[in-house]
Amino acid sequence: MSKAEKTKQFIIEKTASLFNTKGYLSTTLSDIGQATQLTKGSIYGNFANKDELAIAVYKYNAGTLSKSVSRSFGNNFPTTADKLLAFVDFYRKNWRSVFLNGGCPLMNAATESDDSFPALKTEVNKSFEDWIGKISSVITEGQENGDLNKKANAGEYASLFIMLIEGGILLSKTTGDDKFLNQALDRITRMIEHELTIPS
């Protein structure tokens, strides 16, 4: 990395939690300066404006989550169902850190950018498409190797998993009670075990 690239990365990492917690539109240049201990000139010397930084931060936050989720799929599991259950377990084990960092970056950015930040909305759409694609690929892999029900619509189940997780996170974070996320994860577990898995 060049010195300029290192500075940009430093700014992104130092403001990642700030943007996700306070919001992409509500975060001010003063907030960014306080988080990074850099001057306005230093910040704008690396990013054309706050929107450019906000999108870079979103990509960083979404990428961090994507890597963590991908790692939950990455180990060798006896069956494809076990691989999907490991994905569910990721959220059971990591919900606290997700909440402490402001919640799911995809959901936060999606809510905020819907009408007022179209460039960010485009990036969020890409993230959700990628997430659906990853889960769909795992389900399709299980259908091809005989682990999972071939009649199941992989894309539909992937979308349902994401809807349940995002809704569970939203309710749990809002109420301060993790039971809603756990209910969502329990429902996904039942779907994997009783709708996707082929009875032995």
> 136: closest CA among 196, 194, 180?
196
pTM of the model: 0.88
Classify domain 58-196 at the CATH topology level. Tetracycline Repressor; domain 2 (1.10.357)
Determine what percent of the chain is predicted with pLDDT higher than 70.
Answer: 98
> Bigger pLDDT: 115 or 41?
41
pLDDT of residue 95: 82
> 162: closest CA among 196, 114, 121, 129?
129
pLDDT tens-digit series, residues 2-14: 888 999 999 999 9
Distance CA 95, CA 88 (A): 11
Beta bridge partners of 197: 148
The residue extents of the domains of the chain are 58-196
pLDDT tens-digit series, residues 68-114: 888 877 767 889 999 999 999 989 988 888 787 788 899 889 888 87
pLDDT of residue 200: 64
pLDDT tens-digit series, residues 133-156: 999 999 999 999 999 999 999 999
Determine what percent of the chain is predicted with pLDDT higher than 90.
Answer: 68
Distance CA 32, CA 11 (A): 8
Mean pLDDT rounded to a whole number for the chain = 91
